[in-house]
Amino acid sequence: MTDIVICSIPRMSIYYPPAAPALLKASVEKAGFSATTIDFVVQFHHKYFATNLWDRLDRWMVLETDDPEAYNIIRQETQQWADQILAYSPKWIGISVFTFESHRLTKMLCLAIRKKNSEVRIVLGGAGISGDLNNVGSQYKDLGLCDAIISGDGERSIIELLQNTYNETFDRLEDLDAWPYADFSDYNLDDYKAIKERNNQSESDSKSLWQGYGNAWYRSDEILTLPIVGSRGCVRRCSFCDIPSLWPKYKTRSARNIADEVIGQYERYNVQRFHFTDSLINGNQKNFRELVQILADYRKEKDADFTITGQYITRNGDSESQEYYDLISAAGFKILETGIESGSEAVRWHMGKKFTNRDVDMLMERLSKAGIKAILLLIIGYPTETQQDFQDTIDMLSRYKPYVDDGTIIEAVLGGTQHIQPNTPLGRDPNVIIEKDSEGRLDFFNWQYKLNPSLTFKERIRRRIVIMEHAQKLGFISPTNNQEIEILKKRWESFKNESKSQSKITDVTESRTQSKNPSQQKTIA
């Protein structure tokens, strides 16, 4: 008998064990209740990854394909998962819905649980519920699939739920240091090791591409990675980003508090890598510098070998120095993901990114000298992007080829062209017209910007393909290419079907030839 079972469900890449249930378990137990966490993501991955079914199952979740075989497998899985959960005789079952890509599966799991036990109560939480524009969580509640939904940070609300005082308010925690560290004790952390071994045994080349990010070859040779949630929200307000609307205030844990968790988990589990889930690890520069100093001192003193990855904002290069990057490296920071977004300063300025090409040049040079690797995040087809702006991005990639060659830039994420969310400054811009799909829903990929009418959806896709070919020629690796192109292809198909007047549009997302390196393949299988 347990008060609550909290489970993670696909679709999540398994670069590390899911953070949310581990944090919620720690908070719930500190408040005097019992909690058990189950990770169905890793179970599902172990069973299907590297089999011929993997892509179909993944497509069923992401592209919502009408595939009876995939549906039947998911139905069987969710029934087994329901048995596994119910074996704990919980009062509550919490399902962590990581993104909208888990909605279909959430529904199946709720149905499976309901069918087997009509007494147990179900609560849904996670970013796939909190930030969902279609309010799927509320719809599921209205349909009786669940009994409660928790939006925003879950730590305080889930305790209130168990105390029967929860009143459905969207919560954001104030003092992050006051909450306990993640508790991974229910997970078999060995399950998250040896991914490289499994990859080597795989039957097809494409699965690691479709799953993308978490399984890229150069990340998989780590023994164990754990997530760390250092801050929530963001200090910037980029025009295309919904993070500031989801987290109106940026909050960070103190450097000491973060370092204590890193050191504690390292000493307990011999963690080889930590990944910060933060929108920006250097949002608060003072705190970040302090963290870096504490970790650099610890690593030196104990000869500790853990490394760290996370998302990092490029800042004014003149306010930083090579010594600073050497210290970041000494603290263990090994890969920084940074949203450069465009090679055009005009585009970046419109986005609100607040750094120049010179700042990026300085950053690349310093990272290279400090032995830190970079992942560049790019957006193709931003509303104001002209042909010249696009050319600037192409030129930037050419300029950075030496950093690909010396191993500094390990990946360029080209994305799925600009997607405009309504809860962003771009979404509120009267010059942005978002089209509707055949079911009358807003199609956030298919938009027009009145001030740049030649940037049609077709032109955005064209640019995405042109830059992909350019990046591949230069040797950039983009492991999520296949997935991004396939999503665009689906969008394009639905756009074509609706645009009767455009019946002669050619399919700009058609398959291309494969590169030998699986991580560089761009073919849609």
132 binding ligand B12? (CB under 6 A): yes
Please pick, from the candidates 43, 151, 279, 368, the single residue that binds ligand SF4 as defined by CB under 6 A. Answer: 279
Q: Is 37 helix (H, G, I), strand (E, B) or coil?
A: strand
How many CA atoms does the CB half-sphere of 159 hold within 13 Å? 15
Give the x-and-dash track for 51-90 against ligand B12 (CB under 6 A).
Answer: ----------------------------------------
Please pick, from the candidates 155, 261, 341, 385, the single residue that binds ligand B12 as defined by CB under 6 A. Answer: 155
The residues near 3 (Cβ < 8 Å, ≥ 6 apart) are: 28, 33, 34, 35, 90, 91, 92, 162
373 Rama sector, left if φ>0, alpha if ψ -120 to 50, beta otherwise: beta
Of 34-42, 145-153, 231-239, 437-445: span binding ligand SF4 (CB under 6 A): 231-239
Which position has the token pair 């991004």? 484
Of 19-27, 296-304, 364-372, 397-405: span binding ligand B12 (CB under 6 A): 19-27
Q: From the list ligand SF4, ligand B12, none, which binds 11 (C-beta under 5 to 8 Å, kind-based)? A: ligand B12
How many CA atoms does the CB half-sphere of 184 hold within 13 Å? 22
383 binding ligand SF4? (CB under 6 A): no
Q: From the list ligand B12, ligand SF4, none, which binds 150 (C-beta under 5 to 8 Å, kind-based)? A: ligand B12
Residue ranges of alpha helices (H) inside 135-284 are: 136-142, 155-162, 195-200, 207-211, 243-246, 255-269
339 binding ligand B12? (CB under 6 A): no
Of 4-12, 162-170, 384-392, 497-505: span binding ligand B12 (CB under 6 A): 4-12
Q: From the list ligand B12, ligand SF4, none, which binds 131 (C-beta under 5 to 8 Å, kind-based)? A: ligand B12
Nearer to ligand B12, 12 or 468 (CB): 12
Site residues for ligand SF4, 399-438, by CB under 6 A, read none
Please pick, from the candidates 234, 259, 296, 335, the single residue that binds ligand SF4 as defined by CB under 6 A. Answer: 234
520 binding ligand B12? (CB under 6 A): no
Nearer to ligand SF4, 236 or 522 (CB): 236
376 binding ligand SF4? (CB under 6 A): no
230 binding ligand SF4? (CB under 6 A): no
236 binding ligand SF4? (CB under 6 A): yes
Q: From the list ligand SF4, ligand B12, none, which binds 280 (C-beta under 5 to 8 Å, kind-based)? A: ligand SF4
- HEC string of 267-322 equals HHHCCCEEEECCCCCCCCHHHHHHHHHHHHHHHHHHCCCCEEEEECCCCCHHHCCH
How many CA atoms does the CB half-sphere of 106 hold within 13 Å? 31
Two tokens, residue 228: 């760390």
Give, for 374, the enclosing helix (H) or strand (E): strand 373-378
CB of 113 to ligand B12, least distance (A): 13
6 binding ligand B12? (CB under 6 A): yes
283 binding ligand B12? (CB under 6 A): no
Spell 219-233 as b/e; 16+ CB within 10 A means b: bbebebbbbbbbbbb
Number of CB atoms found within 10 A of residue 272's CB: 16
Handedness of CA 508, 513, 519, 524 (dihedral sign): positive
CB of 318 to ligand SF4, least distance (A): 20
The residues near 83 (Cβ < 8 Å, ≥ 6 apart) are: 116
Of the candidates 4, 284, 251, 287, the one whose C-alpha atom is nearest the C-alpha of residue 124 is 4
Q: From the list ligand B12, ligand SF4, none, which binds 126 (C-beta under 5 to 8 Å, kind-based)? A: ligand B12
Report d(CA 15, CA 227) in Å as an integer.
9
Nearer to ligand SF4, 286 or 516 (CB): 286
Please pick, from the candidates 3, 55, 153, 183, the single residue that binds ligand B12 as defined by CB under 6 A. Answer: 153
Nearer to ligand SF4, 288 or 495 (CB): 288
23 binding ligand B12? (CB under 6 A): yes
CA 83 to chain centre: 29
424 binding ligand B12? (CB under 6 A): no
Tell me 182's DSSP state: P
106 binding ligand SF4? (CB under 6 A): no
DSSP structure string for 406-418: TTSEEEEE-TTS-
Please pick, from the candidates 105, 280, 294, 461, the single residue that binds ligand SF4 as defined by CB under 6 A. Answer: 280
Please pick, from the candidates 126, 152, 154, 244, the single residue that binds ligand SF4 as defined by CB under 6 A. Answer: 244
85 binding ligand SF4? (CB under 6 A): no
**Residue sitting closest to ligand B12 (CB):** 125
Q: From the list ligand B12, ligand SF4, none, which binds 238 (C-beta under 5 to 8 Å, kind-based)? A: ligand SF4
Site residues for ligand B12, 496-515, by CB under 6 A, read none
Tell me 248's DSSP state: S
- Phi, psi for 403 (deg, rounded to 5): -75, -20
- Phi, psi for 215 (deg, rounded to 5): -115, 15
Nearer to ligand B12, 150 or 259 (CB): 150
CA 182 to chain centre: 19
Number of CB atoms found within 10 A of residue 406's CB: 9
Report d(CA 63, CA 176) in Å as an integer.
36
List residues near ligand SF4 by CB under 6 A. Answer: 234, 236-238, 241, 243-244, 279-280, 313, 339
List residues near ligand B12 by CB under 6 A. Answer: 6, 11-13, 19-20, 23-24, 94-96, 98-101, 123, 125-128, 130-132, 150, 153-155, 158, 213-214, 227, 229, 242-243, 277, 279
